[in-house]
Chain A
Amino acid sequence: MTGTFHIEIQKAHRRHDIWICLLVSMIMVVWVGGLSPSVPDELANAYSALFYSIPVINSIILPVFMALLASRLWDMEIKGNTTKLLYTLQSRRSLFKGKVIFGVMEIFLTVFMEMGAVLLLGKIHGYTETFPAGQFIYLAVCTTAAGLMLFFSEFFIMLIWNNPLPALCVGIVGALLGLFSAFMPPIVSYFVPWGYFIPLSSYEVAKWDQATHTVTYGTRSFNWGLLAFTFALAALFFYASWRRVQKQEV
């Protein structure tokens, strides 16, 4: 396992994937930081506002980002036409394992940095709301689950077409659909996997005062059913990708 992972690290040399992972959390810091609360009332509600915003931002950025990760991993084999050579030098299982471990590590890294950015924003802006540790962990798990599901679905698309274009197009169209589903009746969002970050979120707008433009956030119960379904979808796409690699004609 270490060997296959090490090979993928060598392939990623000068690919600068870490900077791209960092870019996701940086964008979140800049975006949410630009809307940062300043008055005491807002600071007392700041973590809630942040935890409400992050899934919306994720639903815009992460479908395209996951398509990027998947395409970066497999596109090098397409461009170099290396699969025939690789399959004679190593087993299909070891190649697939290396790619999957590397991709999953990148997703963990992205989520880790995004969660780190949450803590950083709280410190920088001096949020006065009590830090919701349970919600924080739940958000991290949900972001990881939806990220994995999107990554494996995009990886599967890459394997089918051997071209990054369909994967990127699906990512962009999916992000658009996911964002739109957030503003539609809640049931619609269950049919749009690219936007699962939003129905998985445990924060909602409890009250919006149109006159003063103030928003009060509330929480709802954790959506364990959808979270389990997201992991199941991720597992399904993982299996479909593995079968594709097994059966692939080179």
Chain B
Amino acid sequence: MLKRCIIAENRKLHASPIWVMFFLLPIISAGYGTFNYLQNLEILKDKWYSLWTQHTLFYSMFFFPAMVAVYAAYLWRLEHLGHNWNIIMASPVKPLDLFAAKFVVVAKLALLTHGFVFLLYTFCGKTFAHLPGWPPIELSFFLLRGALGALAVIAAQLVLSMLIRSFAVPVFLALIGGISGILASSKGFALLWPYSLMQAGMNANKSKDVLDGGYGLFIASCVIWLIAMFILADILLKKKDVRA
């Protein structure tokens, strides 16, 4: 049943306007990052690493949570319209399957975005910054860590969008979440707050690895937040009855 739910969720994305966001945000981030890198070559001397910080700094801090929130809110909005909530609650599908299917689809979109960000980063590094060689393997590892941290943000946003029937409020809360993530990281609580995990994983604003020696805790935190959000979603979907 989960597979059918995933197919249904994927179908909802056909010809959806969120693809504009998918392409636009990483391109703007890459354009600015490359421009800023080229303007500050006397300070930014770590070549591929410096370009990485410029490409992913604002993207991972503020705009990735908001972008994921748009994906999540879009998928839940369709259920909040008309009598669709009654239909999905009355359908012979486990409520958690509905949530899990949306999670899989948003995670797929987020991973594709990550891949696109890395593609743009490599392209800009070679074409405009004329950097030697290819990006260090460590950077693709940062990207993978960022993707792992992003899963917690995705689950949190799906829960918010499920609970709040407005499209815009969860998106705004995601932006606030990103800011709270920066504050939590600055106080050393990056591993305790889901919105900090992606930022820590991406290592977007530090020259040295922020997770050096703390991989176990990072992975544990990601898994715990993910499980917590799934349990919360399951409880809410089971307890929250049909609202006509």
Q: Is the CB of B171 within 8 A of A168?
A: yes
Q: Is the CB of B183 within 8 A of A71?
A: no
What number of A residues sit within 8 Å (CB to CB) of B? Answer: 32
Q: Which of B161-175 contact A (CB under 8 A)?
A: 166-169, 171-172, 175
Known: A64-B172, A71-B168, A75-B167. A172 touches B67 (CB 8 A): yes
Nearest Cβ on chain A to B73's Cβ, whole angstroms: 8
- Name A72's contact: one of B25, B73, B166 (CB within 8 Å): B166
Q: Which of A89-143 contact B (CB under 8 A)?
A: none
Does A205 belong to the interface (CB within 8 Å)?
no
Q: Is the CB of A176 within 8 A of B58?
A: yes
Q: Is the CB of A172 within 8 A of B35?
A: no
In the bound complex, how far is the Cα of B176 from the Cα of A72, in angstroms? 18
Q: Is the CB of A34 within 8 A of B183?
A: yes
Known: A31-B183, A172-B66, A176-B58. A165 touches B17 (CB 8 A): yes
Known: A65-B172, A179-B58, A180-B32. A172 touches B70 (CB 8 A): yes
Q: Which residues of B have CB within 8 Å of A43?
A: none
In the bound complex, how far is the Cα of B35 from the Cα of A169, in angstroms? 23
Does B225 belong to the interface (CB within 8 Å)?
no
Q: Is the CB of A72 within 8 A of B168?
A: yes
In the bound complex, how far is the Cα of B12 from the Cα of A165, in angstroms? 14
Does A232 belong to the interface (CB within 8 Å)?
no
Does A79 belong to the interface (CB within 8 Å)?
yes
Does A200 belong to the interface (CB within 8 Å)?
no
Does B199 belong to the interface (CB within 8 Å)?
no
Interface residues of A (CB under 8 A from B): 20, 23, 27, 30-31, 34, 60-61, 64-65, 67-68, 71-72, 75, 79, 163-169, 172-173, 175-177, 179-180, 183-184
Q: List 8 A-B contacts (CB under 8 A).
A: A20-B172, A31-B183, A68-B168, A75-B167, A79-B81, A172-B21, A172-B70, A175-B63
Interface residues of B (CB under 8 A from A): 17-18, 20-21, 24-25, 28-29, 32, 35-36, 58, 62-63, 66-67, 70, 73-74, 77, 80-81, 166-169, 171-172, 175-176, 179, 183, 186-187
Q: A68-B172, A172-B63, A177-B28 are in contact. List 9 more A-B contacts (CB 8 A).
A: A61-B179, A64-B175, A68-B169, A71-B168, A72-B166, A165-B167, A180-B32, A180-B58, A184-B35
